[in-house]
Chain A
Amino acid sequence: MSKQTMSFVSEMPNYSVDWLLIDWIVGLFIFIMIFIYIAAALLSNRNYRTWPTHRYICWLAGAACIGLSLSGPLARLAHTNFTAHMVGHLLLGMLGPLLIAFSAPMTLLLRTLPVAVSRRITNGLKNQAIRTLMHPATASVLNIGGLWVLYTTGLYMLMHHNPLWHILIHIHIFAAGYFFTVSLIYVDVTPHRYSYRVRAVILIFAMAGHGMLSKHIYAYPPVSVPAEQGRLGSMLMYYGGDAIDLILVFWLCMQWYKSARPLVFATTIHSRD
């Protein structure tokens, strides 16, 4: 055990990190994010229906998830502790993207910008490349596949040694989580829509891939991660993932339930003779 801890200590990041600077940069970024969103909502309220309160709350909570995972005590601890890293991953890659998706930023963007610009953006969204990227299967592979690569290769180690990789991987984790969410749950502007059946099957496979990776990490944690942290982190990933998937599954099924509402109500069936 002590040998393992020792080797872990020696594997700690070998570049110096100015945490205070990171806190400031992330804090400023989060502040700008919140400011732009609220300003856009208030501006567009003059021309459109009042922007609903729950969307502000989702955006604020989503921004808080991003901020907490990238700066402050959790991010500091995540650098050396795998369990803390996994809490950060759940916030940045799952809960944060989900909350941001529920705050419908694309809808807000399109109604705030001048109509001509908005039209150009919606035309741009019809692009084949974006269409492929936004397909639930592609988004799932990028999301879950990316995690497999991160945790089963030397990439996890590289991330802790190279600040550029650190930044790139964290951007990828959020972006992949976001595209995954919006490709399955249609809350925001969605140019290409797929049937409930297709989305349900893909979501099940994605959830399965996430669960399998969690259990794989339990047995084979990334290089330099102590066994105990690996086990705790893996279980956190497994059950935390389940909790957030619950929201995705519930929302998908609820939308099916609403859309499958019978057109002829049973009361009228009874009056038929």
Chain B
Amino acid sequence: MKKEKRADHAMQRARFSARNLGSGVLFGLGLVGFIDEAVFHQLLHWHHFYDKATSDIGLVSDGLFHALSWFATIGSSFMLADVHRRHAFWPKRWVGGVLLGGGVFQLYDGIIQHKWMRLHQIRYNVDIRPYDWIWNVIAAIMIIVGIILIVRTQTHVSMTKGSKS
């Protein structure tokens, strides 16, 4: 009976593996957006609301990503609740998604938005290089670990689906 239950759970996970991943990616995006806003803008006051150097495309990009991360935080929470009620929650795959989504957004923020679009810098009146390096290296590590977790769970999905028959 217990074994059967576990097999069902694995089946549900495999069926909703994409939703676990999607929820994780969106949650990661929202989480990084939230940390950026709460910690760097509001608590530390390192980031500025507006930087005179900002290009127009920077303003567009910032607006879109701010809206997307706001929506993603709430949307992904409901997706998470959905996989839970289907007994399909897969923590490893979900965390993989969080790291991938968060890492990609942070790397985009660190390279494209801060450097190329000159939205604002991480901190002002300091030597910015170590900040930029730490910011982007953390992002890269998140992406790599995220991909490893996703690939590992992916092989699990194909195994479960293969043993279905």
Binding site for B on A (CB under 8 A): 200, 203-205, 207-209, 211-212, 215-216, 218-219, 235, 238, 242, 245-246, 249-250, 253-254, 256-257, 260-262, 266, 269-270, 272-273
With an 8 Å Cβ cutoff, the count of chain B residues facing the other chain is 26
Please tell me if B70 contacts chain A, counting CB pairs below 8 Å.
yes
Q: B49 touching A245 by the CB < 8 A rule?
A: no
Please tell me if B66 contacts chain A, counting CB pairs below 8 Å.
yes
Contacts of B86 in A (CB 8 A): 262, 266
Query: A215-B49, A254-B78, A269-B12 in contact; A208/B87 too (CB < 8 A)?
Result: no
Q: How far is the CB of A234 from chain B (nearest CB, A)?
A: 8
Lowest 8 A-B CB distances belong to which pairs?
A: A212-B63, A207-B67, A208-B67, A208-B63, A211-B63, A253-B78, A266-B87, A208-B64
Please tell me if B74 contacts chain A, counting CB pairs below 8 Å.
yes
- Beyond the given A215-B49, A238-B49, could you list 10 further A-B residue pairs with CB under 8 A, ordered by the A residue number? A204-B68, A208-B66, A245-B70, A246-B74, A249-B70, A253-B77, A254-B78, A262-B85, A266-B86, A266-B87
Q: A204 touching B82 by the CB < 8 A rule?
A: no
Q: A207 touching B70 by the CB < 8 A rule?
A: yes
Q: How far is the CB of A241 from chain B (nearest CB, A)?
A: 10
B1-22 vs A, Cβ < 8 Å mask (1 yes, 0 no): 0001100100010000000000
Name the one of B12, B62, B66, B78 contacting A257, with C-beta atoms under 8 angstroms: B78
State the CA gap A211–B70 with chains docked (Å): 12
Return 24 A-B CB contacts under 8 Å, by A number.
Answer: A200-B71, A203-B71, A204-B64, A204-B67, A205-B67, A208-B64, A212-B59, A212-B62, A215-B49, A215-B59, A215-B63, A218-B50, A235-B49, A238-B49, A246-B70, A249-B75, A250-B74, A257-B81, A260-B82, A261-B85, A266-B12, A269-B12, A270-B4, A272-B8
Please give me the residue from chain A that is nearest to B65 by CB atom.
A208
Q: A215 touching B12 by the CB < 8 A rule?
A: no
Q: Within B64-109, which residues are at the interface with A (CB < 8 Å)?
A: 64, 66-68, 70-71, 74-75, 77-78, 81-82, 85-87
